[in-house]
Amino acid sequence: MATAEKAIWFQSSREQLDALLLEVCEGLQLSLSRHELAVERYGTVNEILEKAGSPFQLLRPRIFPQGSMALGTTCKPVEGPHDLDFVLQIDAPHWRWHPLAGLSALYEFLSSNETYRKMISLKNRVVRLTYADEFYMDILPAYTDLSSGGTCILVPDRARVSLCPSNPEGFILWFRNTCLTRTRRVMEKAKPVPAQEAVHEKEPLQLAVQLLKRWRDLAFAEECLAPISVVLTTLAGMHYAGEESVSEALTTILAGIVNAIALADLQGKRIVVRNPSNLLEDFGERWDANPQAYNAFKAGIRRLQKEWAVIVAGGRETDKELERLFGEYVRTALVKRAQRLQEARNAGALAVGSTGAITGLASGVARIRPNVFHGDE
């Protein structure tokens, strides 16, 4: 077989499906130029927050990415801007100040900046900078959580007027470690700004998360009902069992989530999605205030599991189903594969196996000789 990203012929249905999903994820992820732009903007904001005149200058500010960019699970939005999440962590005695003091100080400081004044808005936990070119950057001011230790932080929540526990850095470490397949279970350290990985370098779990997020974006028309990314990412990580194949990983993850939902239903509860790196944080808590969203998630994920099983079973028609679930990148991937097939045909590099499967010259029973498709006008 050719290399994973250039595959033309396949030994098995699973291998073929994985290659297709890999190309879909290639379309889904933040392009390299957009990634570089995001890193550049992150650098600029970081500089401003650290330099003289910043209220954070003496508080040893540390700004680092969290969310999909740090996890390697970026997924282009179906429409609207791409969000990038950063944490501004300061070492300060938070108990001396109002819980929202850091958030207010960040908002006021950036509002006083000529460049950011027109781009800034205040959200429940973050200060948002909206760029003209389909990006927004959410900056979460946070205090080091000295009592919990490690990489735990406390983050402001305007609705609760309090500080809430979190641990995005620990979450990144947990996810990156969970990502490793059975054969590659070794510790990795999170990098402050991970370089953009090519899709073929990504782990199956990262790809599965990208696909789940894309499914979410397409399946939930109402944003208020859609499960948030960190819930999907955590659930995927919790149920991933180290599969080497993205399609098999997705099968396992979906089965795990559906089983967990069934178990919780039996107990008359919702599933709990604890931050594995800070058990005080439950990413599913929004469902308490919005049970309709939990019901929509349950119905959606059960439906996805059934639809996914049909896709895994194979058959040409299932490509349409894949496109319905994950969007137009499926079509693009199929076109690219056919283009590669045509190139290999022009190069005289194709043969067929005894079942009619197109393959390389070494493994075929009959070479595909030059021909021109014809027909009636």
Partner 1 sequence: MRSRFPHFRRTTNRGDQIKWRGTLQPSPRSDLYEVEIAYEIPCRPHIQVMTPGLTTWGDLKRQPHTFRDGSLCVHQAHEWHGNKLIAETIIPWTCLWLAFYETWLETGCWLGEGTHPDLPEHSPFGEIVGAAA
Q: Which two tokens stand for residue 344?
A: 């290999």
Q: Does 33 bind partner 1 (CB under 8 A)?
A: no
Classify burial at 38, counting beta carbons within 10 Å of its beta carbon; exposed 0-12, middle 13-18, buried 19 or more.
buried
Q: What single letter denotes the amino acid at residue 33?
A: S
Report whether 345 contacts 363 (CB < 8 A): no
Beta carbon nearer to partner 1, 238 or 368: 368
Instruction: Classify residue 53 as left (phi > 0), alpha (psi -120 to 50) or beta.
Output: left
Which DSSP helix (H) or strand (E) runs through 90? strand 82-90
Q: Does 373 bind partner 1 (CB under 8 A)?
A: yes
CA angle 241, 244, 246 (to 5 degrees): 90
Least distance in angstroms from the C-beta of 22 to partner 1: 14
Q: What burial letters (b/e) apply to 51-77, b meaning 16+ CB within 10 Å?
A: eeebebeebebbbbbbbbbbbbbbbbe
Q: Does 299 bind partner 1 (CB under 8 A)?
A: no
Q: In terms of Cα–Cα distance, which of 373, 367, 343, 347 is closest to 8?
A: 343
* DSSP label at residue 267: T
Report whether 127 contacts 110 (CB < 8 A): yes
Q: Does 142 bind partner 1 (CB under 8 A)?
A: no
Beta-sheet strand order (sheet of 350-352): 358-360, 350-352, 366-367
Contact letters for partner 1, residues 308-327 (x by CB under 8 A)? ------xxxxxxx--x----
How crowded is residue 93: how many other Cβ atoms within 10 Å of its Cβ?
9
Q: Does 32 bind partner 1 (CB under 8 A)?
A: no
Least distance in angstroms from the C-beta of 12 to partner 1: 5
Q: Which two tokens stand for residue 15?
A: 């291998």
Q: Does 4 bind partner 1 (CB under 8 A)?
A: no
Q: Does 211 bind partner 1 (CB under 8 A)?
A: no
* DSSP label at residue 268: T
Beta carbon nearer to partner 1, 10 or 107: 10
Within residues 342-371, the interface with partner 1 by CB under 8 A covers 342, 345, 350-352, 354-358, 365-371
Can you spell out the DSSP letters for 112-151? TSTTTTTTEEE-SS-EEEEETTTEEEEEEEEEE-TTT-TT
Q: What are phi and psi of 357, to 5 degrees?
A: -70, 130
Least distance in angstroms from the C-beta of 350 to partner 1: 7
Please tell me the distance from the alpha carbon of residue 213 to that of residue 218, in angstroms, as a whole number. Answer: 9
Q: Does 377 bind partner 1 (CB under 8 A)?
A: yes
Beta carbon nearer to partner 1, 228 or 368: 368
Beta carbon nearer to partner 1, 58 or 372: 372
Least distance in angstroms from the C-beta of 326 to partner 1: 13
Least distance in angstroms from the C-beta of 361 to partner 1: 12
Contact letters for partner 1, residues 86-125 (x by CB under 8 A)? ----------------------------------------
Beta carbon nearer to partner 1, 96 or 374: 374
Beta carbon nearer to partner 1, 272 or 361: 361
Q: Which of 263, 272, 338, 361 binds partner 1 (CB under 8 A)?
A: 338
Least distance in angstroms from the C-beta of 342 to partner 1: 5
Least distance in angstroms from the C-beta of 223 to partner 1: 25
Q: What are phi and psi of 30, to 5 degrees?
A: -55, 130
> Total number of residues binding partner 1 (CB under 8 A)?
46
Q: Does 372 bind partner 1 (CB under 8 A)?
A: yes
Contact letters for partner 1, residues 8-27 (x by CB under 8 A)? -xxxxx-xxx----------
Q: Does 216 bind partner 1 (CB under 8 A)?
A: no
Q: What is the binding site for partner 1 (CB under 8 A)?
A: 9-13, 15-17, 314-320, 323, 331, 334-335, 337-339, 341-342, 345, 350-352, 354-358, 365-377
